[in-house]
A and B are shown apart, each in its own frame.
Chain A
């Protein structure tokens, strides 16, 4: 029992170190990769434009539900005027970066893990290395750099649409004065909140994109499954772990930045 726990822990520590080296090497090899800008733009399109509809839809419904629930709770205390504060702080500090990241993991992250896994299986990565091209710099670096920009951007869009959703429920459906809602939003959100939102989103982007690329890249390491099943297992593992990491990192960052 103790031996198994120790072995498992050592394995996790080794994998963590391996992941850190993988991410560092990807950034380190980025300058060696030529025409990097073009591939960053392509990654920007894959993570940004393609995922925009799902981020907006989830943002809208999150705002609608927050507005609905928040109004009824605050109404009990005669504080409906604070609905804008509740919706905006919930979205900016927590729900915006976390839910946008989870949506991006589900769509762009899974696609990334599967794509790199297939490239590993079909020897495309070996072919790159044989050509003298760094596969880390060519395949992973543009995705990581794009994620550092796209995740905060998507979080901002999520928050903006969510605030609008909150206003739809609060004002249009439940009769709260729109001016009251939006002035509460304006008063509540400080620049530190926006900074926290972007910091979280960028961290989630780096961690989840790195993890998805890492598991896809090492899809051939599995000792239990091979071929298409190994790619499928790597993709599932990448998405599940990335989702957990988003929530765990959110807790860690919040505990460092928490204010009264």
Chain B
């Protein structure tokens, strides 16, 4: 039983994807344990979103294997894909909320379309999800009437209303200020523990990811160049990890060098 529990919920091996001559994923592999919060870090344009969309089936990979709960996800295996979609959710970078539906209708949509639940049950479950994310007062508002943070919470409410085992988060903090970034990561970590789902997050926000995650991976040149705990990441000698982790101090050094150069040239003149 414990062996079964310890088995990874999601296993990715040798994933490859190219767009024309541009190789985005070049044999990417990752293992995600059940109940954990795993973050995939990487620079902008490193293929993090493509990696996540391959897992979600939005993009078909050229090669490689994806196993969900031990079952291989092949493009031609509709039953496996349907099982994956029933047990997982995807939180898009731009939230992908239906702008012509109210908050309540947005949350109810996956239940309406993928379950045999009665209207009353759907309404109750949707209101419960909205209430858990403190959005019950905004149930009749349209997404455009909500703030950015509320939209993010609404997207999360829609993602968890079906009680998924796995939630994939695509850059959930993109474009947010540091305070909101912290709030979003805190929200993900809190709800991940509250609802016991496995979370896979792709982001380039290092401090927040290290604070919230159980496991961290770093995607570079289409491959995972690092995998380990946040502590391992903080202590790693890997040059790519160092470059990523120490980007703030590198910037400080660069700026200091520029200032020194400016001071020297003004002295000469």
Contacts and interface: CB of A to CB of B under 8 A. Distances in A.
Interface of A: 33-35, 115, 118-119, 122-124, 126-127, 129-133, 138
A34 B113 contact: yes
Interface stretch (B83-91, B173-181, B200-208): B83-91
B85 A126 contact: no
A132 B82 contact: yes
Contact of B96 (A34, A35, A127, A133): A127
B64 interface: no
A210 to B, nearest CB: 21
Contacts of A118: 99
A126 B58 contact: yes
A126 B114 contact: no
B113 A123 contact: no
Contacts of B57: 129-130
B110 interface: yes
Contacts of B99: 118, 122, 124
A118 B162 CA distance: 26
Interface of B: 53, 56-58, 82, 85-86, 89-90, 92-94, 96-100, 109-110, 112-114, 162
19 contacts: A34-B112, A34-B113, A115-B100, A122-B96, A123-B92, A124-B98, A126-B53, A126-B58, A127-B90, A127-B92, A130-B56, A130-B85, A130-B89, A130-B90, A131-B113, A131-B114, A131-B162, A132-B85, A132-B110
Contacts of A35: 112-113
Contact of B113 (A115, A119, A122, A138): A138
Given A35-B112, A123-B92, A129-B58, 13 more contacts: A118-B99, A122-B96, A126-B53, A126-B96, A127-B92, A129-B57, A130-B56, A130-B85, A131-B89, A131-B113, A132-B86, A132-B110, A132-B114
B102 to A, nearest CB: 14
B160 to A, nearest CB: 12
A123 B94 CA distance: 8
Contacts of A124: 96-99
Contact of A133 (B94, B97, B100, B113): B113
Contacts of B85: 130-132
A33 B112 CA distance: 9
Contacts of B98: 119, 124
A133 B114 contact: yes
Contacts of B96: 122-124, 126-127
B12 to A, nearest CB: 17
Contacts of A115: 100
A212 B85 CA distance: 29
Contacts of B56: 130
Given A122-B96, A123-B94, A133 B110 contact: yes
B58 A130 contact: yes
Contacts of B94: 122-123
A133 B162 CA distance: 13
Contacts of B90: 127, 130
A124 to B, nearest CB: 5
Contacts of B89: 130-131
A10 B61 CA distance: 27
Nearest to A127: B96
Centre residue among B82, B93, B96, B112 by max chain A CB count within 10 A? B96
Nearest to B88: A130
B92 A126 contact: yes
Contacts of A132: 82, 85-86, 110, 113-114
A50 to B, nearest CB: 14
B201 to A, nearest CB: 16
Contacts of B58: 126, 129-130
Centre residue among A35, A122, A127, A131 by max chain B CB count within 10 A? A127
B113 A33 contact: yes
A82 B110 CA distance: 60
Contacts of B86: 132
Contacts of A133: 109-110, 113-114
Contacts of A119: 98
B169 to A, nearest CB: 12
A172 B134 CA distance: 66
Contacts of B100: 115
